[in-house]
Amino acid sequence: MNDYFLGIDCSTQSMKGILLDWPLLTLQTKIIINYDKDLSHYGTQNGVYISKDGKKVHSNPLLWVEALDLLLEKLHNGNIPLHTIKALSGSAQQHGTVYLNDKFVSMLSNLNPNKSLTLQLNGVFSREISPVWMDSSTSKQCQEIRDALGGSESTIRRTGSNTFERFSGPQIRKFYQDTPKKYEDTAIIHLISSFLSSLFLGKSSPIDYGDGSGMNLMNITNKCWDEKAIKATAPNLIQKLPKLVESDTIIGNIAPYYVKRYGFSPETKLLPWSGDNPNSLIGVGLVEPGQVAVSLGTSDTYFTPLQHLSLDLSGQSHVFGAPNGNYMALICFKNGSLARESIKNHFNLTWNEFSNILKLTPPGNLGRIMLPYFYPEIVPLVLAPRVYRFGFEEYDMNANVRGIIEAQCLAIRIHSQWLNKAPVEIIATGGGSENREILQVLSDVFQAPVKILNVLDSAALGAALRSIKSFKAYNGEKLQWSELIQLCKDLQPIEILTPREDNKILYDEMMEIYQSYEQFILQNGKDPDKKRLKFKENYF
Ligand code: XUL
């Protein structure tokens, strides 16, 4: 009988579970719970609640628990005997925090298999909501922490990133400042990943180095909680934080609840959950330095493995722990798929029609440029959302469609330049990578081939592959990451798009103009309109 490995991904808009079998490494089952549709009684939109000014973005931790209940039920009713699952791990949207009272741990150790997790966990939260990665309401706290740590550069050197509004430390500080009593009543603060990991473990789970480095609280060099950062964030915080561990640690066996309720084997091994980006690094097969991936999801991210710690002192990127024990660099753009969808929906288009417009419109967009901050943006930092259009109007469909895609690809290229090496190839992943025309623009802008994998669920796949690797190591079998990646058919490209070389100079020039527009809008730079008109004259 085959062995099975489970990977679960709790992302912004849905929870997914995938089962991989060993030794074939083929996807056996995939289950998706969509929060807005399947759990509509929570009233979320795209999985979150957004305040009027767009700055506060929260979700409900009980929503994730109920999604997990549903996912496990569906898995149980499927045709794979759950006792054959040897190990499981998971992934969650990064940075979000879950605040728990002192009932949490005792509730977990006494879970009643006749009741759902949702029913039993109802009373364990000291804060009903969880701020998530889309939140940008903590600028004041970012400044305070950064000042206490001696400025941006020393914050980056300490924690791997500058302070960012969505990072857990500034979020925790805001919670403490706004509601000190609730903060005091909080016994444990978990990341979404370690919270869900705790549910399987039946006790409070450690946080892994990958997700721990998205908090502005972990020292990026020695991978321990950073005393100075903790002190700068909130009083007595160290007592409320779980331990930190290496991502490949076996943290224990599955709790009896899952054995009795769903028929899991009591020997099922657990790894700590990690963030979606560290999981995706493995889930798209990036284990060699120099490889690069672009994930087009709710957020667009650009990430690459690092063999040695190397920091972006300009402060726009992050360095996280990677599941293979090294590091990864990541740049996160908040205006990803939701921004693309705004344009698509505004013009009532299907994705096919959207693609056709990209096919029929010329690279360079006839000299028209958009800066697409439909939501507050992370990179570059834009707190007040606004869409800027240069050389066209809001009603011009073709200009808007090409405008947003070129803007997103140019911004990715501009803000990844600190990594010095232009990528030799880009692996594309995430829901948006289904759209070949978007990827062709990416390939043309970077002048690099784009490899398309048959993987839309790289975070869940990464979690399942991590489970295999650690399970094998636990049983004394040495399996290298590169071997595991080779074995996984889904990680072999199904298509490679090549860049159209005649667009090289055009996009080099357009990138400079785009960068000038960022400076014009955000840093009171010189108006580059003349440059744009000259570009238009030259090419169109
Ligand atoms: C990364 C980030 C996003 C979320 C999305 O820093 O904020 O990619 O992890 O789920």
Query: Does ligand 1 come within 6 angstroms of the Cβ of 513?
Result: no
Query: What was the pLDDT predicted at 338?
Result: 92
The 10 Å CB-count burial string (b at 16+, else e) for 350-365 is eeeebbebbeebebbb
CA of 285 to the centre of ligand 1 (A): 19
Residues 404-415: pLDDT tens digits? 999 999 999 999
What are the tokens at 23?
A: 């030794």
User: Which ligand 1 atom lies nearest to the CA of residue 298?
Assistant: 5
Query: Does ligand 1 come within 6 angstroms of the Cβ of 12?
Result: yes
Residues 100-123: pLDDT tens digits? 999 999 999 999 999 999 999 999
DSSP string of 290-321, one letter each residue: T-EEEEESSSEEEEEEESS----TTSSSEEEE
CA of 170 to the centre of ligand 1 (A): 16
Mean of pLDDT values over 183-187: 98
Percentage of residues in the chain having pLDDT higher than 70: 100
Query: What was the pLDDT predicted at 96?
Result: 98
- Residue to mutate (ligand 1; options 13, 15, 48, 93; most atoms within 8 A of CB): 93
CA of 373 to the centre of ligand 1 (A): 17
CA of 333 to the centre of ligand 1 (A): 9
Query: What was the pLDDT predicted at 419?
Result: 85
364 alpha-carbon distance from chain centroid: 30
If phi > 0 it is left, if psi is from -120 to 50 it is alpha, else beta; for residue 125 that is: beta
Query: What was the pLDDT predicted at 380?
Result: 96
CA of 497 to the centre of ligand 1 (A): 26
- Residue to mutate (ligand 1; options 95, 161, 273; most atoms within 8 A of CB): 95
Query: Does ligand 1 come within 6 angstroms of the Cβ of 277?
Result: yes
**pLDDT grade for 248, boundaries at 50, 70 and 90:** very high
**Contact present, 133 and 96 (Cβ < 8 Å):** yes
Distance CA 470, CA 270 (A): 9
**pLDDT grade for 506, boundaries at 50, 70 and 90:** very high
Q: Using CA positions, which residue lies closest to atom 7 of ligand 1?
A: 133
Query: Does ligand 1 come within 6 angstroms of the Cβ of 133?
Result: yes
Query: What was the pLDDT predicted at 159?
Result: 98
Query: What was the pLDDT predicted at 430?
Result: 84
Q: Is 58 exposed, middle or buried (0-12, 13-18, 19+ CB in 10 A)?
A: buried
When the pLDDT of each residue in the chain is averaged and rounded to a whole number, the result is 96
Query: Does ligand 1 come within 6 angstroms of the Cβ of 166?
Result: yes
- Residue to mutate (ligand 1; options 133, 213, 295; most atoms within 8 A of CB): 133
Query: What was the pLDDT predicted at 28?
Result: 84
Query: Does ligand 1 come within 6 angstroms of the Cβ of 95?
Result: yes
CA of 12 to the centre of ligand 1 (A): 9
CA of 299 to the centre of ligand 1 (A): 6
- Between the CA of residue 430 and those of 65, 243, 493, what are the distances in Å? 24, 31, 14
- Work out the number of other CB atoms within 10 angstroms of the CB of residue 309: 14
Distance CA 245, CA 208 (A): 5
**pLDDT grade for 190, boundaries at 50, 70 and 90:** very high
CA of 527 to the centre of ligand 1 (A): 32
**Contact present, 146 and 155 (Cβ < 8 Å):** yes
CA of 69 to the centre of ligand 1 (A): 24
DSSP string of 463-476, one letter each residue: HHHHHHHHHHHHTT
pLDDT at 473 over 90: yes
Query: What was the pLDDT predicted at 422?
Result: 86
Query: What was the pLDDT predicted at 538?
Result: 97
pLDDT at 489 over 90: no
- Full-model pTM: 0.94
**pLDDT grade for 270, boundaries at 50, 70 and 90:** very high
pLDDT at 1 over 80: no
CA of 92 to the centre of ligand 1 (A): 9
Query: Does ligand 1 come within 6 angstroms of the Cβ of 301?
Result: yes
Residues 377-396: pLDDT tens digits? 999 999 999 999 999 999 99
User: Which ligand 1 atom lies nearest to the CA of residue 92?
Assistant: 10
Angle between helices 436-446 and 397-415 (to 10 degrees): 50
Query: Does ligand 1 come within 6 angstroms of the Cβ of 299?
Result: yes
Query: What was the pLDDT predicted at 81?
Result: 87
Torsion angles phi and psi, residue 290, rounded to 5: 95, -20
User: Which ligand 1 atom lies nearest to the CA of residue 94?
Assistant: 9
Q: Using CA positions, which residue lies closest to atom 5 of ligand 1?
A: 93
Mean of pLDDT values over 429-448: 93
**pLDDT grade for 23, boundaries at 50, 70 and 90:** confident
Mean of pLDDT values over 72-84: 93
What are the tokens at 525?
A: 């730079």
CA of 114 to the centre of ligand 1 (A): 35
**pLDDT grade for 79, boundaries at 50, 70 and 90:** confident
**pLDDT grade for 401, boundaries at 50, 70 and 90:** very high
Residue 63 sits at the vertex; the CA angle it makes with 61 and 67, to the nearest 5 degrees, is 125
